Structure 1
Amino acid sequence: MKLSQYYAYLETRNPLTCWEVSIGRVIAPEHNDPNSIGISLWGYNRIFNLAKNSQINGYYLLRECQLEWVRQKFFPHKCSRFIGAFFFKTLDDAHIGIDRWGLKSRLHDQVCKINFISNRDPTIVDSNFITYCLNGHELKWMFDYWSGKAYPKDNPIWEIITTGIGHIDANPQTELLRQEAYQRMIKRFPKCQLIHKICQIGFSLGFDTVGRVAPFVQILPDSPIVKGKLMIDLRLWKDDFFIKTIKPSLKRHKLPPLPDDGSFGTLPDFSSYFFEINLENMSRDVQKLFGYKTKNKKFNPLRD
């Protein structure tokens, strides 16, 4: 396992991100359910938006699919954009990226150092290729991108793509950000305070995946239906070692009161962020993203 320091701006207006940030963690899909495909939050949001509006042109996603095919074919050791989390190499790059991409100025105050643990080498690429080339038609740049070359027409913004567990560096700024995320999350899910607190304590004790929320996509066999879900990992709650370890810490912390029914409360309800796509109702480009109606041949995004 390798420990590295990266930088990221943390969006606290998404309930899933609020849950993770308030715990002190950064989403980086790696621990996947065997019955589903783990996907980055970025990729999930793209497909979610498509599901909510079937008139959206799937060209952007098709280009991402082409980029992924180039990675699989020629750069299999690089981390996929569809499963990896995105970080900046330096603090300056984070602020430059926010400005260059025209993002909300408030994100400058939400840039944090991330202490990141991974068992793989990071993929380091110049995000300018995505900014300037993804919406075009030319393909050669995809090889330059995965090769780690700098985009020739602008100063590079080096981006890290990797999987693993990110710990938000503790300091007064990040503490305020975590508190803001917590308040937003509790306002949306008021009955999950106790469960959240137990997960937060467990994470601080080194149980990195406790209560971890991650996006997954389910592609049903021989079916045009694609489903997206946000799943919360509570397997450690059934682990005797976890329970034995956390009990003394629970006594030292001020815990939220138990709900009136004497239970631990409820889990956050992320169902409004689930989606279901019927590929029969989508454009041919979108169908090709999921290999639909291509069962008799292996889908090649560069050819098809």
Structure 2
Amino acid sequence: MPVTVFFAAGPANWEEYRDPLNTAFAEAGLDVAMSDRADNPLSVDYIVFAPGGIIEDFGPYVNCKAVLNLWAGVERLVTNPTLTQPLARMVDWGLTEGMVEYVVGHVLRHHLGMDAHIHGQDGVWRNSVLPPLARERPVAMLGLGELGQASARALTALNFPVMGWSRSPKTIDSIECHSEEAGLKHVLSRAEIAVLLLPLTDETRDLINAERLAMMPKGAVIINPGRGPLIDDNALLAALDAGQIGHATLDVFRTEPLPADHPFWAHPKVTVTPHIAADTRPSSSSQVIAENIRRGEADEPFLHLVDRSRGY
């Protein structure tokens, strides 16, 4: 009998993912019956899901072997008390490459001071200040998961001295790794550019607050393509107004889309990008979904399982 897959990620995603998923299932040698409806929850073997999808109660799907998330973030799922099935987050090469390109692009933009020339087309010859070499510009990578490690390695390849911080200790070649509160203070106190790629948990919410912003070198830059609530918005605005933080490039926010009257839009030291740093791409993510279903049917361990106790 075919494997039954319930695509519960919503109508818009269904139109975008139906064909790539069916192609990936065929390439993986899987016999799959997939639908965006589940008339009989007991028959469902796997659920493909995204936050905001069409179900909230996972209880009826008692025979479901795994819930496979299309997003990297799972903070809106791990707190659902009806979700008792194994939960896999999305880690795919397309999403990772997109994030690396965003992070490297904006780090280089701020490192080179490109904004002064892009926005300063006023006849003034601004050649009096040269940026340091990359090796002289310390960068902090807060978060050393798949995306953080990939971005850190790309920056290291450009000779940036990268310091990493994560909740749990890690050892990564060519990256100075830290953990715990003392490690965070050490990293922030040296970082002229800080990139936020942490998961959102109770421990990381408002991690970048007034106290920690004050630890950074005066004029430092914040780049946040991770999760909006990692930053205390009011504290960041105050630090920008005081000149403690030189610029903030933000891709994620507490409320999305970012309300038109939010102070970030009009602030001269803030760049708003509309949650575009790393989108899940149907072609590559469908291959990850297919591989996890293949693994489940072969009684092999699932990829990228979420640790409920840690929230990611």
For Structure 1 versus Structure 2, the TM-score category normalised by the shorter chain is under 0.3
Give the number of the structure whose alpha-carbon radius of gyration is greater: 2
Asked which structure has the greater RCO (Cα within 8 Å, sep 6+), the reply is 1
TM-score (norm 2): 0.22
TM-score by length of 1: 0.22
